[in-house]
Structure 1
Amino acid sequence: MSDDGAHGLTIIAFIGSVFSPYYAWDRDQDPFAHCAMNVVLYGRPGRFAMTERRAADLARGHDHIAIGPSAMTWDGTELTVRIDERGAPLPRPVRGTVRLRPSGITAGPFHLDEAGRHRWWPMAPASRVEVALDEPALRWSGSGYFDTNDGDEPLEAAFSRWTWCRADLPDGAAILYDVRHRDGGGRNLSLRFGFDGARGDLRPPVAAPLPSTGLWRMPRETRSDDGRARVLKTYEDTPFYSRSLLAATLAGEPVRAVHESLSLDRFRNPLVRLMLPFRMPRPLAGA
């Protein structure tokens, strides 16, 4: 998020694109055949790009990953993302450079399920970000976050839904992650990290209701110290996913939190998967 709150940016490098209908329909279930650099720009102008690419378009090593014309590199202190993508369904370009500088790195991953088949590592909960885009022409700085996820089975096999949110604190960041398991039960994580990446204490907040999204009526909920939260902006309103900006109270501080809700029950509906290629094109071989 930009310091002035006018812009937001999400970038996700996928190997085995978990929301890809092509991956779900692939008999071989080869994750390397379904890669994407997802770039979403919020504010004005907005952009959405998520072109799926094949194994031949993937290159990676211990300090870099390239998917098609876009790439991420790590030099030990800074993550540099070079973006060269085209949106869908409107083919508008997204090109430029994003630099993320973590203030500290956390100790290691968390298991999201009892069997340990799904892992999440909030590596850099409190970071600074510099955005320099050529298309569209934008320059801004703000606060950022960097994490990784990996798993041994499709998300919808293990989970029915989840909510997640992150907020800046004066001394670091707070993250709430609530997952509901497919076979019942779930896990609620209430985490606080300092700027150095060290984990601190956070009293588990209480449930706070939120209104469903306007178009697709996606359910939303979160937690806060006083059981109250409100939606400031809705960035994504899709049949199975929403991303929002909330006002709440965490660790005794009034915060603005980036929040997401994911319904994997909705996602695995065949009609929903048939809609996704309009937002996630997959070029023909050699294109």
Structure 2
Amino acid sequence: MTERPRGAVSRTTDTFTVGPSHLSWDGKSLTINVNEISVPIPGRLRGTIRLVPTAITQQAFLLNGEGNHQWWPIAPCARVQVRLDHPRLSWQGDGYFDMNHGDAPLEQGFADWQWSRGTMQDGTAILYEAKRRDGSRVDLAMTFDPNGRMQAFEPPPTVDLRRTGWRVRRSIHSDGAAKLVKTLEDAPFYARSVISAKLFGEPVTLMHESLALDRFKMPVVQAMLPFRMPRALR
């Protein structure tokens, strides 16, 4: 998450480089070579992440009426292999790859959002809801099979979860009770969590994101960002 100047960023048809880290696509898999310094306690983060999608989707979704924010679930179903040299860690499992694209700051268009993704018996389920600044809402609920075929569905009721240590709101759609398994990231305006819920009567473990953009644009939070997102000269 290091901020780098324009000269440190380059891309070709199959590669994308940011400082000492880069991504490359060989037609079948995406390889991410990471070489960074962690914060707030400096430490080397170096290794390789390889993502192998079962299919690539072609549909992106407009998130507002102006059309200046889009979300593309590029590879809803995938396998991921992680091998880190520093720290020395490795694991593999089900994965996912998406992209958000915008021509305006997120905080101008949205107040908050809740997003979650989980592996089902026959593919992937994704839930995406956001509150726009004009008071309208984004409500997306869909499944993807391993071939990338999408099916929209009516989401079950919303279940409120315990707020984070920074008091960021968390909620999830579930057929019944939902449980907060673990908080992975707890920041003043953002949380990433593991949630246990139920969809289509099937137990599912969801990776969940909460984003509070009213918090994000507060001057005190903006002043804190460089301590978690350092700015490099090259």
Same fold (TM over 0.5): yes
Question: Residue 253 of structure 1 aligns to which amino acid in structure 2?
Answer: E
Aligned positions, number? 234
Query: In the alignment, is residue 260 of structure 1 matched against residue 209 of structure 2?
Result: yes
Paired residue for 2:81?
130
Aligned mates of 1:141, 1:209 — CA distance in 2 = 31
Aligned mates of 2:57, 2:141 — CA distance in 1 = 15
Measured after TM superposition, the shift of residue 201 of structure 1 is 4.3
Task: Give deviations 1:74-98, integer Å, cap 9, x for gaps.
Answer: 1111000001001111111110111
Q: CA RMSD in A?
A: 1.0
Aligned mates of 1:77, 1:208 — CA distance in 2 = 38
Checking the alignment, whether the CA contact within 8 Å between 1:203 and 1:251 is kept in structure 2 is no
**Which secondary structure does the structure 2 equivalent of 1:221 belong to?**
strand
Paired residue for 1:79?
30
1:5-20 paired onto structure 2 within 5 Å? none
Measured after TM superposition, the shift of residue 269 of structure 1 is 0.2
Question: Residue 229 of structure 2 aligns to which amino acid in structure 1?
Answer: M
Paired residue for 2:231?
282
1:33-48 paired onto structure 2 within 5 Å? none
Checking the alignment, whether the CA contact within 8 Å between 1:107 and 1:198 is kept in structure 2 is no
Paired residue for 1:225?
175
**Which secondary structure does the structure 2 equivalent of 1:52 belong to?**
coil
Query: In the alignment, is residue 155 of structure 1 matched against residue 116 of structure 2?
Result: no
1:56-95 paired onto structure 2 within 5 Å? 56-95=7-46
**Which secondary structure does the structure 2 equivalent of 1:157 belong to?**
helix
**Which secondary structure does the structure 1 equivalent of 2:154 belong to?**
coil
Task: Give deviations 1:167-210, integer Å, cap 9, x for gaps.
Answer: 00111100000010011111110010001111124332211111
**Which secondary structure does the structure 2 equivalent of 1:104 belong to?**
coil
The answer for unaligned runs of 5 or more in structure 1 is 1-49
Paired residue for 2:166?
216
TM-score, with length taken from structure 1: 0.80
Aligned mates of 2:55, 2:38 — CA distance in 1 = 33
Paired residue for 1:111?
62
Task: Give deviations 1:13-67, integer Å, cap 9, x for gaps.
Answer: xxxxxxxxxxxxxxxxxxxxxxxxxxxxxxxxxxxxx221111101101211000
TM-score, with length taken from structure 2: 0.97
Task: Give deviations 1:230-249, integer Å, cap 9, x for gaps.
Answer: 10001111110011000000
Q: 1:129 to 1:176 in 2, by over 3 A?
A: same
Aligned mates of 2:207, 2:18 — CA distance in 1 = 26
Match of 1:248 among 194, 197, 204: 197
Question: Residue 148 of structure 1 aligns to which amino acid in structure 2?
Answer: M
Paired residue for 1:269?
218
Paired residue for 2:119?
168
Aligned mates of 1:79, 1:220 — CA distance in 2 = 31
Larger relative contact order, structure 1 or 2 (CA cutoff 8 Å, min sep 6): 2
**Which secondary structure does the structure 1 equivalent of 2:143 belong to?**
strand
Aligned mates of 1:105, 1:225 — CA distance in 2 = 29
Task: Give deviations 1:1-22, integer Å, cap 9, x for gaps.
Answer: xxxxxxxxxxxxxxxxxxxxxx
Checking the alignment, whether the CA contact within 8 Å between 1:168 and 1:257 is kept in structure 2 is yes
Match of 1:177 among 128, 151, 155: 128
**Which secondary structure does the structure 2 equivalent of 1:156 belong to?**
helix
Paired residue for 1:204?
155
Paired residue for 1:30?
none
Paired residue for 1:32?
none
Matched-pair identity in %:
48
**Which secondary structure does the structure 2 equivalent of 1:53 belong to?**
coil
Checking the alignment, whether the CA contact within 8 Å between 1:245 and 1:256 is kept in structure 2 is yes
